[in-house]
C-alpha cells in the first residue's frame, strides 16, 4: 500500500549574490524549508510534525566540453547545512556538507551529479548511510511537461546499503500555476526519521515560472 504523502509545505529560494568571480564564476545563495503538516490529525489540532531547514552557498563556474559523450556545462562547490532545528539527542537532526557538483545538459534534458564530504554529524553519526554520500538529478522536458528523476545513495554495500529514488512529473495548469505528481521510495524523506524507509505518493501544486 502506498500512503499519501504527509502534507508538506515547501519553500525554496535561490538568488545570485555575486558574479564574474575568477572570470565567469558566480556565487549563489539558496534556502529550502520543508514543513510536514499533520492536517489530518484533528485530535492534536493539526500540528506541524517536523520542519527541515537547509541554507547553502554555492559557487558555480561555467564550462564547455564533452565528457563520456555528455556536454558538461558547469562545475560547482557549495557549503550546505541541513537540520530540523530541535535540541537534545532524541529529536535533534543536523549535518553540514561540502558539496561538489557537475552539470550536463542537451536540448531536452539536464543532469546534475553531486557528491559531498559530511562534517559535524555527532548527533546522528550514521546519517550518511541513509541520506547518502552522493545524488543525481535528471530532468527531461517534453513540450511544457517536465519529468524529474532524483536518486541518492550511501555508496556502501551490505548493511549500510541505503538510498532513495524519487520521480516527479510537473505539468502546466494555467499561467504560473503548475501541478505535479510525485512518487518516492527509500530513506531521508524527513530528517526526524531519516533511518526509516518510506514509500510515498503525492500530488500538489507549485507557484513558479512557466514550464
| Number of domain units in the chain | 1
Is residue 20, in this structure, part of any structural domain at all?
no
Over residues 140-152, the mean pLDDT reads 95
Q: Which residues contact 115 (CB under 8 A, 6 or more apart)?
A: 99, 100, 101, 133, 134
Catalytic residue among 35, 81, 150, 185: 81
Three cell numbers written together for 160: 549500510
- To the nearest whole number, what is the mean pLDDT of the chain? 88
Is residue 43, in this structure, part of any structural domain at all?
no
Q: How far apart are CA 73 and CA 141, in angstroms?
A: 17
Are 126 and 195 in contact by the 8 Å Cβ rule? The answer is yes
Is residue 26, in this structure, part of any structural domain at all?
no
- For residue 88, pLDDT beyond 90: no
**162 given a catalytic annotation:** no
Catalytic residue among 83, 94, 154, 184: 83
Is residue 1, in this structure, part of any structural domain at all?
no
- For residue 52, pLDDT beyond 50: yes
**94 given a catalytic annotation:** no
Q: How far apart are CA 76 and CA 27, in angstroms?
A: 10
Residue 3: pLDDT band with limits 50, 70, 90: very low
Range of the domain at 79: 64-207
Are 31 and 58 in contact by the 8 Å Cβ rule? The answer is no
CATH number for position 141: 2.40.230.10
Read off the pLDDT of residues 23-42 as tens digits, 9 standing for 90 and up: 999 999 999 999 887 655 44
Amino acid at each position: 500500500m502506498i500512503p499519501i504523502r504527509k502534507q508538506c509545505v515547501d519553500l525554496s529560494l535561490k538568488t545570485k549574490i555575486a558574479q564574474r568571480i575568477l572570470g565567469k564564476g558566480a556565487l549563489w545563495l539558496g534556502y529550502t524549508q520543508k514543513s510536514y503538516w499533520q492536517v489530518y490529525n484533528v485530535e492534536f489540532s493539526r500540528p506541524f510534525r517536523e520542519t527541515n531547514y537547509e541554507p547553502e552557498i554555492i559557487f558555480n563556474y561555467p564550462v564547455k566540453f564533452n565528457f563520456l559523450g555528455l556536454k558538461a556545462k558547469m562545475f560547482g562547490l557549495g557549503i550546505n547545512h541541513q537540520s530540523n532545528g530541535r535540541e537534545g539527542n532524541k529529536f535533534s537532526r543536523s549535518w553540514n556538507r561540502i558539496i561538489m557538483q557537475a552539470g550536463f545538459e542537451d536540448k531536452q534534458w539536464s543532469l546534475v551529479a553531486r557528491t559531498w564530504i559530511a562534517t559535524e554529524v555527532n548527533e546522528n553519526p550514521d546519517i550518511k548511510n541513509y541520506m547518502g554520500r552522493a545524488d543525481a538529478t535528471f530532468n527531461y522536458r517534453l513540450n511544457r511537461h517536465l519529468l524529474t528523476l532524483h536518486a541518492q545513495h550511501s555508496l556502501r554495500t551490505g548493511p549500510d546499503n541505503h538510498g532513495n529514488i524519487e520521480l516527479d512529473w510537473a505539468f502546466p495548469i494555467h499561467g504560473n500555476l503548475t501541478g505535479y505528481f510525485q512518487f518516492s521510495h527509500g530513506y531521508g524523506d524527513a530528517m526526524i526519521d531519516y533511518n526509516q524507509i518510506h514509500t510515498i505518493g503525492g500530488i500538489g501544486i507549485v507557484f513558479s515560472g512557466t514550464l
